[in-house]
Structure 1
C-alpha cells in the first residue's frame, strides 16, 4: 500500500472522523499489471515478472553436526517421558485461591490453627543474650547495610497519588534481603550450642532439589522444586500428634469444594516421571530432615496462599521420604513422618507443621494427615516513602520492631533437641 497525494491531502483535517473517511475511500492503491512494450514481444524477448519469483536459498548446515545450539526440538509426544495419561504439576508459583482449605482437601489433612504443643511450650523458654540488638543489626544489614544497587521494580501506586510517576530505585532486592535476614536469624539460633550441644548435629543444606509425587483420586500430582535451605538433624522429629489425635482424625470430615475440583489451579503435562528424590543421600549422619525453609518469589499473595503452598511442599516432601523408607506401595504408614516448614517473606514469618500418616488420598475416609499453621510473625514493617511529602515522610523507614516474633522462629529451630524433650515451659529449662 502506497501513500498517495489524496491520502496526504486528508491529513490536513486532523479530525478522526474525516481521517477514517479518507482512508476508507482513498487509502487503497491498485497496482495494475505491467505493460510489455510491443518491440520486446516482436523480438521474442522473455519477460520475467520478479514479483512472483522467490529467491533460491541454500540450506545452511552447521560445521559441527551435533552442535546443540542448532539441534531440532523434539516434539513432546516423541520424548521418552511421554505418558498418555496427563498429570497435574505443582510448582512454587501455583497459587491455591482457597488457601489452606484447598490444600488440606488434597492432602487429606485435618487442620489446627495453632502451634503443636511440643513447639508451643518452647516459645519464650530460652533467653537469647542481646536479642534486640542482634535482631536490629540483622534487619539493618538486610535492608540498608548492603552495597548492592540492583534495579528494583516499580512500587505499587499510592492511593493519595495514583498518577505519581515513580522513579526506578536501586538497592537490595526483596529476595536477597530475606536471605540475609534468614542467615542472621539462623546464626542467632545456632549460638545456643553452648547450652545445647546437640545443635552440633544440625546441618544446613542450601539449594536442595527434590522431585516427588502423590496420587490424588488415582491421578498423579508431581512436584519438582528447589528448596532454599533444608535443616537436617541426626534423628527424625517426634510425631506432633499422639495416637489419640491420629485415631480421632478418623471422625474428621474433609471440607468440600464441589462443584469445583481442588486441582483446578494446577497445570497438566504428559511429560513426567514418577520419582522420589529427597535431595540428599540416606546413609550417614545429618540425613533426617528437620525444617524446610523457603523464601517466596511471589509478593502479592495473601497469608492463606503462602500457607497452602507450605502444606503442599510438606506433603510432597514427606511422600518422597515415606516411599524411600517404607517402599513404593505404602499407603498407611507404620509410623508418622513429620517435618516443619518456615517461609520468610522479607519481614513476615510463616510456620507450618505437617505430619504424614497416610498416602491413601483416593478416599476421604480413614485416618487423616495432620497440619498445624501458626500465627504469622511480623518482625518489622517497612513504610514506603512519599516523595511529594515533606522530608520526614519522603524516604522509606522501618517501624514497629517486634523482637517477640523471633521467639517463634527460635522455638521451631530448637524443636526436637534431646535436651529439651519432656521439659515444659513451667520448668524454665532449669
Structure 2
C-alpha cells in the first residue's frame, strides 16, 4: 500500500483543539454527541439514507444467489466457527463478520465491474485541519479500514439543494461552548491536510470507511459518540481530498462524498457525508450534509446451544 504517515505532531506553535486523535484516545475527551460533530463540521443532518443507496438493494440483479443463506452462514462463521474458544470475543467476531460481508459483496464483481476499481486499505493515517470561528481544529489518526476507489462517489444532492442549505440554522449550544470537552494540543504546522496516501496512488478517492467498536474499556464509546466519530472521520477524509483537489476554493463546484459503516458485530450504523464547502469559520452560508441511518440490526441474537448427549436407560427385569 502506497501510504504515508502524516500524524506526527511537533510541540510548539499554535494551540489547536484536537477533535479526534486516535493515538491519545484514552486521554482525550471524546465528542459527546452527533450534535457536536454537526456543529464542528458545519453540517445539517438528514435522518435515513438517500434513496439511490437503499432502493437498488431491492433489485434482483443486485442480490446474491441464495443471499439470505449466505449471509446467515457469514454470521455463523463469525460467531461460532472461527474460534477455538467457547465464545469468541466481540473484537474477533465483529472483524470477521465485516470481512465476511465484504467478501460476499466482492462476489458481485462479474455483474458490477466498478467493484474491481476499489481496494481495501488498513491503518492509513489521516490528518485534516480547519478553522471554526477563532479556533483551529484538527482530526487525525487511524480509524481502521478504508475502501479506496479509482473513481469518486457521485454527489447526493444537486446544486439547487446545496444552495438551499444556506437557509438552515445550526443548532446552538448556548450557554455551553461546543468545544468545552475538546483537548488542546500544540501544533507546529497549522494547515495540515493529508489523506494518508502519496501522490500518484491509483486509488485516491475515499469511498467507504468501516468502524468497529473498540474492545478497550478505557476508550469505549457510547453509541452516540461512536456515530460522532464516524462523522468526524468521513468529514476529515473529504476535507483532506478537497484541499488536494481545489486548494483554497471554499464552495465546491463538485462536492465530495464519503460513506461510512460502523458495527459492533450485530448492530450497524450507516452514514453518508457530502462536503459542499470548506468555509467553516462562520455559521451562515452553505452547509455540509450528513445522512444517518442508526441502529440497524443484522440479526436478533446468536447463542451457542449446549450439546446434550443422549442418555440411554436400561431396565433390568429379574426373572
TM-score (norm 1): 0.62
Structure 1 unmatched ranges of 5 or more: 1-78, 150-169, 386-390, 393-430
Residues 1:384 and 1:267: Cα distance change in structure 2 (over 3 Å): farther
Output one character per residue of 1:121-147: Cα deviation in whole Å (capped at 9) or x when no partner.
223222211222222222122122133
RMSD: 2.4
2:196 to 273, 276, 279: 279
Residue 339 (1) aligns with residue 258 (2): yes
2:138 to 222, 240, 246: 222
Residue 96 (1) aligns with residue 31 (2): yes
Output one character per residue of 1:339-364: Cα deviation in whole Å (capped at 9) or x when no partner.
00111211111111001111222211
Q: Distance in 1 between matches of 2:135 and 2:238?
A: 18
The size of the alignment, in residue pairs, is 287
Q: Distance in 2 between matches of 1:378 and 1:103?
A: 24
Q: Secondary structure in 2 aligned to 1:360?
A: coil
Q: Distance in 1 between matches of 2:269 and 2:20?
A: 20
Aligned to 2:48: 114
2:65 to 129, 141, 145: 129
Residues 1:143 and 1:384: Cα distance change in structure 2 (over 3 Å): closer
Per-residue deviation, 1:305: 2.3
Output one character per residue of 1:92-123: Cα deviation in whole Å (capped at 9) or x when no partner.
555332x2222111111111001113212223
Q: Distance in 2 between matches of 1:272 and 1:210?
A: 17
Structure with greater strand percent: 2
Contact preservation (8 Å) 1:90, 1:221: no
Output one character per residue of 1:273-298: Cα deviation in whole Å (capped at 9) or x when no partner.
44222112342532222111121216
Q: Distance in 2 between matches of 1:144 and 1:384?
A: 9
Q: Distance in 1 between matches of 2:39 and 2:194?
A: 24
TM-score (norm 2): 0.82
Q: Distance in 2 between matches of 1:171 and 1:276?
A: 42
- Aligned ranges for residues 260-271 of structure 1 at < 5 Å? 260-271=176-187
Contact preservation (8 Å) 1:89, 1:268: no
Contact preservation (8 Å) 2:20, 2:229: no
Work out which of the two has the higher radius of gyration on C-alpha atoms and give 1 or 2: 1
1:324 to 223, 229, 244: 244
1:296 to 213, 216, 219: 213
